[in-house]
Amino acid sequence: MNLEVVILAAGQGTRMKSKLPKVLHPLAGKPLLSHVVSNAKKLGAQAIHVVVGHGAEQVKNAVGDFTVNWVVQEQQLGTGHAVAQAMPLLSKDSIALVLYGDVPLTSVETLKGLLHKVDEQSMALLTVNLANPTGYGRIIRDTQGQVQAIIEEKDATVEQRKIREGNTGILAVPSRKLQEWLPRLSTNNAQGEYYLTDTIAIAVAEGMPINAVVAHTEEEVQGVNSRQQLALLERWYQLQKANELMAQGVSLADPARLDIRGQVSVAQDIFIDANVLLEGNVSIGEGVCIGPNVVIKNSVVGEGVTILANSVIESAEIEAGCQVGPFARLRPGTHLAQGAKIGNFVEIKKAYIGVGSKVSHLSYVGDAELGKEVNIGAGTITCNYDGANKFKTEISDGVFVGSNTALVAPIKVGENATIGAGSTLSRDVEPNTLVVARAITRVIKDWQRPTKKK
């Protein structure tokens, strides 16, 4: 049978104390709802239906990269009511998997295990064993261990509240049965809402087998209802990512102080110091050493690269053997060829730095192409912007640029040319020449500084 997924994402999340819809609060750099939709895609669902309510347009715009069917729940009357809004879109011949937009970390493996337990004649329910089940609906089983009902905490007796097996709300059921059952739900409960969980009792009454699958951990089925819960779930997620990296041969100075917000591929014998942030798609080669407080986003880092403390690297390619930092910034479009060196307080933007070339101190190189073995002195800048347009600087192999030089683009500097310190150049430089462009030095002896009149 085909799989269709219904994701409930209509809640306001009042405990978040935020104008932002709860499902848009970020975990690992992307909205909670995006995690859920992404996992649904990995299950090969024929269709994904997202039920929205509070901040519906904002939610649609924020998660618009995914192809889903949007269903608006005008009034939030409970989970059963929410699923009912999507039912007209579902095929009767499909399996419906119900997920929640504020439960972001349920693994694909767990969901596949749940789907293996459902067919045309049975349903599957995901449960979890909890150290503290407060707030969860309790799973009621008979003496043979078969699921008989789910009792919400506000409706549970004192004895039922002692049960530690809790309901995650995630279930898989033939769509045709949901279409039969949902109109039969009532609001005869403490919340005055239509509970999706009441379908369990209906299934039992009809003799439909209910196959319970227990989640591996509490955290993977943890919902987010407050900023405290979001923070706890963030740290758990990050620790899982840190463990994955260490299992692949990465040494971490402190696994609790690494943040991954995207997809990271790594080789062996990498060292990552404390407070490093890896964002987007990041590839790190063998033998790389990353210092503390480094940010790397959407970049490729080659073998044997050293990135020193407090450097920020975005949409850049760094070939083998380069050194970057400390306090360096590589902006989008930066490409460092093998063995290049970018030093402290240097900013590179949309520039190719050739093999073995060095920009070691306090410089800005933007919209430029540097050849091999170029040396850029401290305080050098490429003046690439006239207030309206960008222009390119080309520096050939073997050029030596003295400190405090300004290169006004467009400009070309020929091979093995030398530019004297303190020069400002706006014309091309011939190969194998020395160019010095400084103001004439004047010396006025016995100079008296101006003084203020009393």
Rounded distance, CA 300 to CA 82, Å?
44
What is the pLDDT confidence band of residue 105, given thresholds at 50, 70 and 90? very high
User: Do 384 and 392 form a contact (C-beta atoms < 8 A)?
Assistant: yes
pLDDT given at position 208: 94
pLDDT given at position 35: 96
pLDDT given at position 166: 95
Number of C-beta neighbours around residue 218 at 10 A: 16
Contacts of 425 (CB under 8 A, 6+ apart): 405, 406, 407, 408, 411, 419, 435, 437
Delimit the CATH 3.90.550.10 region(s) of the chain. 2-221
pLDDT digits (tens, 9 = 90+) for 231-255: 999 999 999 999 999 999 999 999 9
Annotation: CATH topology of 241-435? UDP N-Acetylglucosamine Acyltransferase; domain 1 (2.160.10)
What is the pLDDT confidence band of residue 448, given thresholds at 50, 70 and 90? confident
> If you average pLDDT over residues 23-47, what whole number do you get?
96
- For 2-221, CATH number out of 3.30.565.10, 3.40.50.300, 3.90.550.10, 3.90.1150.10 equals 3.90.550.10
Residue 49 annotated to the active site:
no
pLDDT given at position 112: 97
Instruction: Tell me: pLDDT of 191 over 90.
Output: no
Comparing 41-50, 188-197, 250-259, the range with the smallest average pLDDT is 188-197
pLDDT digits (tens, 9 = 90+) for 360-415: 999 999 999 999 999 999 999 999 999 999 999 999 999 999 999 999 999 999 99
Rounded distance, CA 49 to CA 85, Å?
10
pLDDT given at position 64: 74
Residue 300 half-sphere exposure, CB side, CA atoms within 13 Å? Answer: 10
Instruction: Tell me: pLDDT of 79 over 90.
Output: yes
User: Do 234 and 183 form a contact (C-beta atoms < 8 A)?
Assistant: no
pLDDT digits (tens, 9 = 90+) for 92-103: 999 999 999 999
> If you average pLDDT over residues 120-127, what whole number do you get?
95
Mean residue pLDDT across the chain:
95
What is the pLDDT confidence band of residue 88, given thresholds at 50, 70 and 90? very high
What is the pLDDT confidence band of residue 12, given thresholds at 50, 70 and 90? confident
The pTM for the full model equals 0.90
pLDDT given at position 118: 95
Delimit the CATH 2.160.10.10 region(s) of the chain. 241-435
What is the pLDDT confidence band of residue 197, given thresholds at 50, 70 and 90? confident
What is the pLDDT confidence band of residue 29, given thresholds at 50, 70 and 90? very high
pLDDT given at position 453: 85
Instruction: Tell me: pLDDT of 450 over 90.
Output: no
Structural tokens at position 19: 């104008």
Q: What is the DSSP string of 102-124?
A: T-TT--HHHHHHHHTT-BTTBEE
CA-angle at 435, arms to 431 and 440, nearest 5°: 170
pLDDT given at position 438: 87
- Phi, psi (deg, nearest 5) at residue 69: -95, 125
CA distances 357 to 43, 121, 373, 419, Å, are 48, 69, 4, 16
Instruction: Tell me: pLDDT of 66 over 90.
Output: no
Comparing 119-123, 153-157, 375-379, 399-403, the range with the smallest average pLDDT is 153-157
User: Do 7 and 15 form a contact (C-beta atoms < 8 A)?
Assistant: no
Structural tokens at position 99: 């997920």
CA distances 220 to 127, 168, 193, 245, 357, Å, are 11, 10, 26, 19, 48
Catalytic residue among 81, 116, 216, 361: 361
pLDDT digits (tens, 9 = 90+) for 298-315: 999 999 999 999 999 999
pLDDT given at position 282: 98
Rounded distance, CA 157 to CA 148, Å?
16
Structural tokens at position 39: 């996992």
CA-angle at 31, arms to 27 and 35, nearest 5°: 80
